[in-house]
Amino acid sequence: MNLVIREALLAFRRAPLLSSLSVTTIAFSLFVVGLFGLVAVNLQRALREVAERVEIVAYLLPGTPIETITLAEKDIEAFPEVQAATYVSEDSALARARAELVEFRDVLQELERNPLPASVEVKLKPAYRDVQHVNEVAERLQGFGFVDDVRFGRDWVEHLDRLRQIAAAVGLVVGAAFAVVAIIIIGTTIRMAVLQRSREIAIMRLVGATDGFIRRPFLLQGAIKGMLGGLAAIGLSYGAYALINRWLIHAAFFSTEQAVAIVGFGMLIGFFGSAASVGRHLRRV
């Protein structure tokens, strides 16, 4: 077995208590990050669902020939922002109104003439469901000669935008704060492991070990601890998620990529935390 791997694994056997303490500390630090991540993931999902409903409706002038509309529909769908454009004829608009506006069913039944205009309903791609892009597309639609009026819930889209900005800012700040706290706690834990072995490090240096030789097992060990802590954190998060799902609300869990990212984050902190601690220690002895 490779010497570096052997030395790294031996440390777990020699100091099982401190090692498991490190892993536990890392696990709980990352669990806090993970819990926040779960909130962020679910908030994002909820916002995405709301954003699904962002829609621009272009009302058409009466008597626009269907061929023109079909062509225009193709044009609109070719806009880079547009996911789908759907033509809604006067008749189907009325049918929909009858089905949806139950309170006005009687009024709608007694109509002699259909007062509803035909329209093209435009749905944007997820990345473009914000005020700026909605405005741009609306203006472009207005440019079609047969378009009478363009509507979208401006206030509503603006609110959604604002909500998204707040969510992003809070996510960034709180997420970064949690991450920093995790890094500090994990760094301290790893530093303890290094200090615990300072005698050993001094002896290694006396018998002619290079800094790299001393450092490598620590780095590997740090990465392993970070990985184990990350896996445990995912497990804890899953437990929390299962409880929430069962008793409170229907929530989403991390995607595989996100779970891998958390474990990877743990490994990185473990690795670089060890590098920093051992480096600092080696410079002093």
Partner 1 sequence: MIKFTNVFKAFPKGGLALKDVSFHIAKGEFAFLTGHSGAGKSTVLKLVYAEERPTSGAVRVSGFTVAEMRRKDVPMLRRRLGIVFQDFRLLEDRTAEENVAFALEVTGARRSTTPARVMRVLTQVGLAAKAKAYPRELSGGEQQRVAIARALVNEPTVLLADEPTGDLDERATRGVFQLLRDINASGTAVVMATHDLDLVRQAPYRVIELQEGALVYDSAVDESRGQAVTP
Residues contributing to the site for partner 1 (CB under 8 A)? 3, 14, 199-200, 202-211, 213
The H-or-E segment that residue 213 falls in is helix 211-247
* CB-based contacts of 23, cutoff 8 Å, min separation 6: 225, 228, 229, 232
Q: Quick one: 213 or 238, whose CB is closer to partner 1?
A: 213
Compare residues 195 and 209 and give the one whose CB is closer to partner 1: 209
User: Which tokens hold the place of 14?
Assistant: 């020699």
Q: Kindly tell me which of 99 and 203 has the beta carbon lying closer to partner 1.
A: 203
Residue with Cβ nearer partner 1 (9 or 183): 9
Shortest distance, position 194 Cβ to partner 1, whole Å: 16
Least Å from the CB of residue 37 to partner 1: 39
Helix (H) or strand (E) holding 58: strand 55-60
Residue 209 Cβ vs partner 1, minimum distance, rounded to whole Å: 4
Question: Tokens in use for 264?
Answer: 């990877």
- Dihedral of the alpha carbons of 237, 184, 228, 271, in degrees to the nearest 10: 140
Question: Which helix (H) or strand (E) element contains residue 280?
Answer: helix 256-284
Quick one: 98 or 205, whose CB is closer to partner 1?
205
Q: What share of the chain is helix, strand, coil (3-state, %, to 5)?
A: 75, 10, 15
Q: In whole angstroms, how close is the CB of 4 to partner 1 at the nearest point? A: 11
Structure tokens at 135: 């405005």
CB of 278 to partner 1, least distance (A): 14
